[in-house]
């Protein structure tokens, strides 16, 4: 028989006594793999929940005047290019239910906009997206679910050439030079090794509707457990232990 038998209780206290914490999802993958596209699709499908997106790119350090004179020698793909302390503080605050001001980064000037920020409010789901969001253990530990978007390098390079020349004010030679000198080596040294931390790997990014549907279903289940506790505060959540 496959009758479910409630043999295991996940908690000895009703779950409503634990404060509701946002569900934090990390989305990583190489440049132009489709991370933002996947995040947008998840957000669209979770339309009945409050979801916010935080981009690791927002935490790029602005270049000093000295660095600006040799911008072609700057490695934007190294973990040190980001202000990870600030990112940690920001996601930590969001996770504890506070709203935050996220910096706005300009890829054309390699600087942060000094006088404007994006207000990000507390929400049910926080998605943190970026090439190196799995690199730092402290950032990883904030996440309840980690997704790696896995797209072939030639497809990513083709997309990057188009995007950087159209949207980020670059010429094709500088894109190819930067790719060979920094982007590809850093992918091999830092991004690819962090794939092992992923819970879910999505081949083909935004084209993979099945994977995105499954992920959204999982998030809904996790959020639903909280909602159930709001409706039935004395109900204990029974984990899926089945006796066959």
- Of all residues in the shown chain, the one whose CB is closest to ligand C5P is 31
148-187: contacts with ligand ADP (CB under 6 A): 159, 163
> DSSP 3-state assignment of 25?
strand
Q: Is 133 in the site for ligand C5P (CB under 6 A)?
A: no
Task: Using CB under 6 A, pick the residue from 31, 56, 58, 84 that binds ligand ADP.
Answer: 31
* Of the residues 15, 22, 35, 187, which one makes contact with ligand ADP according to CB under 6 A: 35
Residues 226, 206: Cα–Cα separation, whole Å: 28
Buried b (16+ CB within 10 A) or exposed e, 8-19: eeeeeeebbeee
Residue 197 contact partner, candidates ligand C5P, ligand ADP, none, CB within 5 to 8 A by sort of partner: none
Residue 205: name its binding partner from ligand C5P, ligand ADP, none (Cβ under 5 to 8 Å by kind): ligand ADP
What CA–CA distance (Å, rounded) separates 155 from 115? 36
Angle at alpha carbon of residue 105, lines to 99 and 106, rounded to 5°: 150
148 binds ligand C5P (CB under 6 A): no
Whose tokens are 């992920």? That residue is 215
- Binding of ligand C5P at residue 150 (CB under 6 A)? no
In the complex, the smallest distance separating the C-beta of residue 9 from ligand C5P, rounded to whole angstroms, is 42
**Strand, helix or coil for residue 28:** strand
Q: Which is nearer to ligand C5P, 100 or 170 (CB)?
A: 170
Do residues 206 and 147 make contact, with C-beta atoms less than 8 angstroms apart?
A: no
Residue 40 touches ligand C5P, criterion: CB under 6 A: no
Does 37 participate in binding ligand ADP (rule CB under 6 A)? yes
């Amino acid at each position: 028989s496959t009758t479910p038998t409630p043999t295991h209780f996940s908690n000895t206290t009703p779950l409503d006594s634990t404060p509701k914490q946002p569900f934090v999802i990390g989305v990583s993958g190489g440049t132009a793999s489709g991370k933002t596209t996947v995040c947008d699709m998840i957000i669209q499908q979770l339309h009945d929940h409050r979801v916010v997106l935080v981009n690791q790119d927002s935490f790029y350090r602005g270049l000093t005047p000295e660095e600006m004179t040799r911008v072609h020698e700057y490695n934007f793909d190294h973990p040190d290019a980001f202000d990870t302390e600030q990112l940690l503080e920001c996601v930590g605050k969001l996770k504890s239910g506070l709203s935050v001001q996220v910096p706005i980064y300009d890829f054309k000037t390699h600087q942060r906009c000094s006088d404007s920020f994006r207000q990000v409010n507390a929400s049910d789901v926080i998605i943190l997206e970026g090439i190196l969001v799995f690199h730092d253990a402290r950032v990883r530990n904030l996440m309840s679910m980690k997704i790696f978007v896995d797209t072939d390098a030639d497809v990513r390079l083709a997309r990057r050439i188009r995007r950087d020349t159209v949207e980020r004010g670059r010429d094709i030679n500088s894109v190819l030079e930067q790719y060979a000198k920094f982007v590809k080596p850093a992918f091999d040294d830092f991004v690819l090794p962090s794939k092992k931390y992923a819970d879910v790997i999505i081949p083909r990014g935004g084209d993979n509707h099945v994977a995105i549907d499954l992920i959204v279903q999982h998030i809904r289940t996790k959020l639903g457990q909280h909602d159930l506790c709001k409706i039935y505060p004395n109900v204990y959540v029974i984990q899926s232990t089945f006796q066959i």
